[in-house]
Amino acid sequence: MNLWVLSGILVMVAGFALKVNPLLVVLLAAAASGLTAGLDPLALIAAFGKAFNETRYVTAIWLVLPVIGLLERHGLQERAREFIEGMKGATLPRLLTGYLLLRQLISALGLTTVAGQAQTVRPLLAPMALAAANPESEDEAERVKAMAAATDNVGLFFGEDIFIAIGSILLMKGFLEQQGIVLAPFDLSVWAIPTAFAAFAIHSLRLWRFGRRHQR
């Protein structure tokens, strides 16, 4: 057994500890693992190209960022704040709980990239949360923005597993088949529903407590 192929892990740990650019760290870690596994430089470059070509759809999200930047420049965040300020009874827990429910529902349908940190939280949800909370200090404002980002993460993480064609479900199905346990993706996604309900209840309680502390 060639344990040198694990050198990529050491490179990654050292790179992140030294706060080197994450993209460079990942590239160097992959190169270290490939070279120690016996790949020659040309084969390693070919492997990088093949992986990029097969997963190029992942980088499609970056095409949205210039559009979001242009919208922000023309006052998108200000319009979001004005929208919430004009609503009666719009509190921080109500806003984020509603978003949590929406995020889980659309993720359960497989629409995981419809919302997200870059395309929804920063330009829309965070400004709306700040308008609903009206924080009195920069520290409070950062906590509100962090809770908005956390709400998106919880909704996505515990909602996407209900969708039968998501990567995590297929990964679990493949792993179980290797152990001789044959299950349909639907069988796995069904058992994600109770977890999603529990996550919604727990995080909703966290949002309520966060709102109470903020009011005090």
Q: What is the DSSP string of 179-207?
A: TT----HHHHHHTHHHHHHHHHHHHHHHH
What's the pLDDT score for residue 4? 74
What's the pLDDT score for residue 16? 85
CA–CA distance, 100 with 80 (Å, rounded to integer): 18
CA–CA distance, 50 with 107 (Å, rounded to integer): 29
Residue position matching structure tokens 């740990």: 13
**pTM (predicted TM-score):** 0.66
The C-alpha angle 183, 187, 192, rounded to 5 degrees, equals 130
What's the pLDDT score for residue 61? 60
What's the pLDDT score for residue 208? 93
pLDDT tens figures, 16-25: 888 888 878 8
What's the pLDDT score for residue 57? 53
What's the pLDDT score for residue 54? 64
DSSP assigned state of 58? G
Mean pLDDT per 10-residue interval, the chain, length 216 residues: 77 87 85 85 82 61 70 79 78 92 91 83 89 86 93 92 79 81 82 91 94 77
DSSP assigned state of 184? -
Cα first-last separation, the chain: 60
What's the pLDDT score for residue 106? 92
Torsion angle in degrees (nearest 10) through CA of 93, 108, 121, 152: 50
CA–CA distance, 161 with 192 (Å, rounded to integer): 6
Amino acid identity of residue 19, one-letter, is K
Residue position matching structure tokens 């704040």: 81
3-state helix, strand, coil in the chain (%, to 5): 80, 0, 20
CA–CA distance, 124 with 144 (Å, rounded to integer): 13
**Segments in 86-191 forming alpha helices (H):** 92-108, 126-133, 138-160, 167-178, 185-190
What's the pLDDT score for residue 40? 83
